[in-house]
Amino acid sequence: MIAAFLNWLQHGFGKGPTPDGQSFSELLLGSLNFWSLLEGTHLIALMLFAGTILVVDLRLLGVTFRKTRVSVISDAILPLTVFSFGFVVISGAGLLFAKPIFYYHTIWFLVKMVFLALALLNIVVFHGRVQATQNAWDADETPPIAARISAAGSLILWLLVIICGRFTPYDAYECGKPQPAFINWVQQCKTSEKGEENMAGQRFDSQMTGGQP
């Protein structure tokens, strides 16, 4: 059902009645200037977001700005973090809309979403539990272990999100190529437009194009 919806989203949503009509998704992907602007905005916003996260996390780890209160650092940085994250989400949604089928069948993107969910969960835990006692250690050069664990987790998870995002455009694990069974299963290649092929050379055509295993 998900694959069918994404197929409609990419190839059917907004498509005109003429045979050569394009969907909104296809128009976005085919718009060279706007697509480049969207990608550039996403990357710049991501760099700003990651940079602000890095500054706060290094302070929580007791590595930098040790003489400055944690609250002073976070209060100065948080508006930039929220602002840049908003642009990351909006531009990322645009990129996803342009190629939903590709991303749905790409292991790097799927793993990235897992790490992203864990990173957001870490933020919720930090602000909901760890930060509740911040008044007691706000001026400490080295915050308590809970704050440091949260900061270390944040750095690792966001780094993994960026790495997976960087690998997403590459087609080393593209559906339709000989893949380990696990990769084919995670990417659900059997339901992709390019079908599934295992390492032994056995091929299963895409169900979306009417092929049969």
Summarize pLDDT for 127-139 with one digit per residue, the tens: 899 988 999 999 9
Coil, strand or helix at 56: helix
Residues whose CB falls within 8 Å of the CB of residue 60, separated by 6 or more in sequence, listed in order = 70, 143, 147, 148, 150, 151
Q: Check if the beta carbon of residue 119 is closer than 8 Å to that of residue 154.
A: yes
Mean pLDDT computed over 189-213: 65
The gap between the terminal CA atoms of the chain, to the nearest Å, is: 18
Q: Is the pLDDT of residue 212 over 70?
A: no
Rounded Cα–Cα distance for residues 141 and 69 (Å)? 8
State yes or no: pLDDT of 120 exceeds 80: yes
Q: What is the pLDDT of residue 206?
A: 57
Q: If DSSP codes are grouped into helix, strand and coil, which group holds residue 180?
A: coil
Better-scored residue on pLDDT, 20 or 153: 153
The confidence score (pLDDT) of residue 203 equals 66
- Please check whether residue 154 is in contact with residue 123, taking contact to mean a CB–CB distance below 8 angstroms: yes
H or E stretch including 178?
strand 178-179
Residues ≥6 apart with Cβ < 8 Å to 135: none
Among 8-17, 32-41, 109-118, top mean pLDDT goes to 109-118
**Model confidence at 213: pLDDT above 50:** no
Neighbouring-strand partners of residue 178: 197
Q: How far apart are CA 23 and CA 60, in angstroms?
A: 47
Does residue 125 surpass a pLDDT of 90? yes
- The pLDDT, as a whole number, for residue 161 is 95
Q: What is the mean pLDDT of residues 98-103?
A: 90
Strand-by-strand arrangement of the 203-204 sheet: 178-179, 196-198, 203-204
Distances (CA, A) of 24 to 27, 33, 36, 95, 168: 5, 16, 16, 12, 22
Q: What is the pLDDT of residue 202?
A: 62
Mean pLDDT of the chain: 88
Using alpha carbons, select from 211, 188, 196, 212 the residue that is nearest to residue 6: 188
Query: What is the percent of the chain with per-residue pLDDT over 90, rounded to a whole number?
Result: 54
pLDDT in tens, 27-51: 888 887 888 899 899 999 999 999 9
Beta strand 196-198 with 178-179 is parallel
